[in-house]
Homo-oligomer: A and B are copies of this chain.
Amino acid sequence: MATEKEVSGGLGLEWRVTVPEGSTVKMEPEPSWISSTWNRLVELGSKLRAKVSTFGKKVWKIGADSPRKVIHGAKVGGALTLVSLFYYLRPLYNGFGSSAMWAVMTVVVVFEYTVGGCLYKGINRAIATLSAGGLAVGIDWVASKSGEKWEPVILSASVFLLASAATFSRFLPTVKARFDYGVTIFILTFSLVAVSGYRVEELINLAVQRIATIAIGIAIALSICMLVYPVWSGQELHLLVSRNMEKLADSLEGCVEDYFVKSEITDAKESSATRLEGYKCVLNSKASEDSQANLARWEPAHGGFGFRHPWKQYLKVAAALRNCAYCVEALHGCINSEAKAPEYMKKHLRDACMKLSSDSSKVLKELSSSIMLMKRSKSIDALVGEMKNAVHELQNAFASLPNHLTQTTASSPSESTEGKKNSNISIADGVALMEAMPLMTIVSLLIEISARIQGVIDTVGTLATLARFEGIRNEKSSSKVQAEEQEDKALQEV
């Protein structure tokens, strides 16, 4: 390895030394061509080595960051090895014949990273195989009764119609979200059974064998997925929403702090960069939230989550949070824009702005830990009250700004007012107003963010009621009473 480097460093000269003596003369007419080719090869080799090493480091990082992904790989490998025993053990093989192939296929296709995904595919596959198989056998029977001429026509027509209708049904949002995989398997099974029925005599026998092997495949995949270090979609969603809320809180507080006390924290800037970008996670996580919520509905009770845990409400919380994140994004844009407010204005509003952002951030963090622990927060009302006070304080500080401005501009007019020094106060104010614009936008956005946090509070409150968070006996019982009242009403109407 080291010699390659030396060669590439020493150009063509050293290269000639390594060539067998007899060939040196022959190659002399075109040394530049050969040396350039060799150098290119060496370059390519070292580039390849560098790429492989970068790739290796990347892979290692993914594995080290989340060992669960490595475990998932081993789980799939284990499940496949287990299912391949069907081939090796003769008695089982004799029982199921070549249908054992379906067990392997089922494990490969059904085994997903999360339990929800595995259940979604397993249940979809089971239902689709059974319904499509039954339907196909029925149509086969009808076709076989209608004579040899009509049989292929009936079968082809049924394949065409059902496949077309089923494929179209995948465009319906509900079908797409819950049964997409099932529809594929339905078309597949129906086509295979309906078509092969024309040839194979013992259709029922084959169907039973195939269903049995598919069931074995699903059982192996599900049990390994659920019992060995399971990854639950529901829990992932729960953690994702809760963590995103904390990231947004950090990002909000951090960027306002950064703006007002920038000079003091230049050292720690790099480490805080990822912290500031937290809002981007919130903006970009819609797709993964949607898919986790879709899969979570298939999962049984696990951890603190019941079977009918209100996963959809998490999506509403996430949407309210994203609503805040849009404003935080605009705030970041404002803070990083070229137009800068003069220092004396920043000083005047600094404390009020930082108080509001810190209070807003505290509310979000409290909500985040309330979700994380599934407990109703005791201090949330006080924190919201403080946040509202901070809004009023900021508004007051803002209202006293012009008063402050006229004094300041009178004593030290800003540079851009050249040639207008002697004009009346209102024009000096006008220029000052222009300069204050980014700061005003920041103030306005901070107030808007605190208003949008109210939306997050509401959705989290509904989540707490629906998911029966600890410490909300009053709401729980009142909602129960309401439900009972509604039932009574329904009975009376009848």
A329: B residues at CB distance < 8 A: 326, 330
A109 to chain B: closest CB distance in Å?
7
Q: A273 at the A/B interface (Cβ < 8 Å)?
A: no
CB of A184 closer than 8 Å to a CB of B: yes
Knowing A159-B80, A434-B399 are in contact, say whether A73-B168 is a contact too (CB < 8 A). Answer: yes
CB contacts (< 8 Å) of A187 on chain B: these are 76, 80, 108
Whether a CB of chain B sits under 8 angstroms from the CB of A220 is no
A31 within 8 Å of B (CB atoms): no
**Per-residue 0/1 for A96-135: is the Cβ within 8 Å of any B Cβ (1 yes, 0 no)?**
0000010011001100000000000000000000000000
Question: Is A198's CB within 8 Å of the partner chain B?
Answer: yes
The complex places the Cα of A438 from the Cα of B440 at a distance, in Å, of 9
Asked whether B330 lies within 8 Å of A401 as measured between CB atoms, the reply is: no
Chain A, 66-81, contact with B by CB distance < 8 Å: what is the 0/1 string?
0001101110111011
> In the bound complex, do residue A451 and residue B337 qualify as a contact, i.e. CB atoms below 8 Å apart?
yes
- Interface: A195 (CB within 8 A): yes
Residue in B76, B333, B400, B425 whose CB lies within 8 Å of A327: B333
B444 touches A438 (CB 8 A): yes
A49 contacts B by Cβ under 8 Å: no
| Whole-angstrom CA separation of A323 from B330 in the bound complex | 9
Query: Could you list 23 examples of A-B contacts with CB < 8 Å?
Result: A63-B168, A69-B171, A73-B163, A73-B166, A74-B164, A76-B167, A80-B191, A84-B195, A88-B156, A101-B192, A104-B195, A284-B286, A286-B286, A326-B326, A327-B333, A399-B434, A403-B427, A403-B430, A425-B425, A429-B429, A437-B444, A441-B441, A441-B444
The distance from the CB of A168 to the nearest CB of chain B, in whole angstroms, is 4
Asked if A77 contacts B401 (CB within 8 A), the reply is: no
Contact of A434 among B101, B164, B398 (CB under 8 A): B398
Q: Number of residues in A with C-beta < 8 Å to the partner?
A: 90
A440 to B104, CA, bound (A): 65
**Complex contact A406–B426 (CB within 8 A):** yes
Of residues 407 through 448 on chain A, the ones whose CB sits less than 8 Å from some CB of chain B are: 425-427, 429-431, 433-434, 437-438, 440-441, 443-445, 448
Chain A residues in the interface with B (C-beta under 8 A): 36, 39-40, 58-59, 62-63, 69-70, 72-74, 76-78, 80-81, 84, 87-88, 93, 101, 104-105, 108-109, 152, 155-156, 159-168, 171-172, 184, 187-188, 191-192, 195-196, 198-199, 283-284, 286-287, 323, 326-327, 329-330, 333-334, 337, 395, 398-403, 405-406, 425-427, 429-431, 433-434, 437-438, 440-441, 443-445, 448, 451-452, 494
CB distance from A137 to the nearest CB of B (A): 16
Instruction: Name the residue on B nearest A279 (C-beta).
Output: B326
* Cβ contact of A36, chosen from B70, B78, B494, cutoff 8 A: B494
